[in-house]
Homo-oligomer: A and B are copies of this chain.
Amino acid sequence: MKKIINNPENVVQEMLEGMVAAYPQYVRKLDGFDVIVRANAPVKGKVALVSGGGSGHEPSHAGFVGKGMLDAGVAGAVFTSPTPDQVFEAIKAVDGGAGVLLIIKNYTGDVMNFEMAGEMAEAEGIKVASVLVNDDVAVEDSLYTTGRRGIAGTVFVHKIAGAKAEAGGTLEDVKAVAEKVIKNTRSMGMALTPCIVPAAGKPTFTLAEDEMEIGMGIHGEPGTKRTHIMKADELVDHLMDKIINDIPYKSGDEVAVMINGLGATPLMEQFIMNRRVSQILKEKGISVYKTFVGEFMTSIEMAGASITLLKLDDELKQLLDAQADTPALRQL
């Protein structure tokens, strides 16, 4: 395991310390908890947004704490949902009296832990609502299963719901727009290499030199299939086919695009992917309103990437364009 770390047991704690040391103007850490909140939390009268999950997805989620996005990011152990008391502390620390929206990625663990935290907060009289992000089209959707995972599309929820809250929306408003984003967001990813959970010390799986995994989960869970390594354009065609046909996105639609690197894949390759994405959308008559390329929801040092599309309307466009000032995403 080649990592720049000290003790695998302390990675989350030390990472959060290093983050707070880097961005005191944006964030602070709650004493005794792996929770990052805005430096000026709670913001009186504003609906507060809390997200989180296992660590290893940096900059998600704490990197998006700041003006126009989240109020708190809760950091579990690497790839393990945080516990309810951590989430509960986050809720208490950021509630500014207008209620708290929990943005939960749809994993059994996240759902249960955040739910329990919500119950604890409500028992103390805090108004809590929650939304479940489930943008990953790699996973079959069905009433009889857990449904789809939440992956990189979650960042669009943070951005747009955050802008709504900043603009003075009520908890109901903010929840409604978050749900609109979720309804219109689809993603899918792939991996070229596995990643190593520091405490495990070895990769979750192995891929041969000529193999890649399609539909990879962001926790290094196996994907939907393993194939020979494809050229960038062929690969993007495959992912886009799944994504576009899901909603479906149609000619005349306007979308936001996110190319999300999973960790080790350089910007060079992400841009090569985006080139093909923009070609495909053009061919289909779908226009690109705004594009985000970079690392938003990573899987430690996994090589690979995901593509996300968000179908926009006027409200979503305006909120997507709104100012944001966080360590990992800024917009003037």
In the complex, which residues of chain B have a beta carbon less than 8 angstroms from the beta carbon of A16? 271
In the complex, which residues of chain B have a beta carbon less than 8 angstroms from the beta carbon of A267? 15, 58-59, 63, 295, 298
Would you list which residues of chain A between 254 and 304 have a CB under 8 Å from chain B? 257, 259, 263-278, 288, 291-293, 295, 298, 300-301, 303-304
The minimal Cβ–Cβ distance linking A212 to chain B, given in whole angstroms, is 8
Q: Give which listed residue, B14, B301, B305, B330, contacts A4 with CB less than 8 A.
A: B305
Cβ B330 vs Cβ A271 within 8 A? no
* A273 and B331 in contact, given A11-B268, A268-B15, A298-B267 (Cβ under 8 angstroms): no
The minimal Cβ–Cβ distance linking A147 to chain B, given in whole angstroms, is 28
Q: Give which listed residue, B22, B293, B305, B330, contacts A274 with CB less than 8 A.
A: B22
In the complex, which residues of chain B have a beta carbon less than 8 angstroms from the beta carbon of A229? 2
Which chain B residue shows the least CB distance to A3?
B269
* A264 and B298 in contact, given A3-B269, A192-B2, A325-B332 (Cβ under 8 angstroms): no
Give the docked Cα–Cα distance between A274 and B23 (Å): 11
A322 contacts chain B at the CB level, 8 A cutoff: no
Q: Give which listed residue, B6, B274, B330, contacts A232 with CB less than 8 A.
A: B6
The minimal Cβ–Cβ distance linking A265 to chain B, given in whole angstroms, is 6
Give the docked Cα–Cα distance between A3 and B5 (Å): 26
Cβ B291 vs Cβ A23 within 8 A? yes
A17 contacts chain B at the CB level, 8 A cutoff: yes
Give the docked Cα–Cα distance between A330 and B259 (Å): 19
Cβ A266 vs Cβ B298 within 8 A? yes
In the complex, which residues of chain B have a beta carbon less than 8 angstroms from the beta carbon of A325? 332
Give the size category of A's interface with B. Answer: 35 or more
Cβ B6 vs Cβ A233 within 8 A? yes
Which chain B residue shows the least CB distance to A299?
B266
Most chain B beta-carbon neighbours within 10 Å: one of A59, A272, A301, A331: A272
The 8 closest A-B CB pairs, nearest first, are A18-B275, A18-B271, A264-B264, A21-B278, A58-B267, A22-B291, A18-B274, A4-B269
What are 24 A-B pairs at a CB distance below 8 A?
Answer: A2-B212, A4-B192, A4-B270, A4-B305, A5-B231, A5-B232, A6-B272, A11-B272, A14-B275, A15-B267, A16-B271, A17-B271, A17-B275, A18-B271, A18-B273, A18-B293, A19-B293, A22-B293, A56-B266, A265-B301, A295-B295, A325-B332, A330-B330, A332-B332
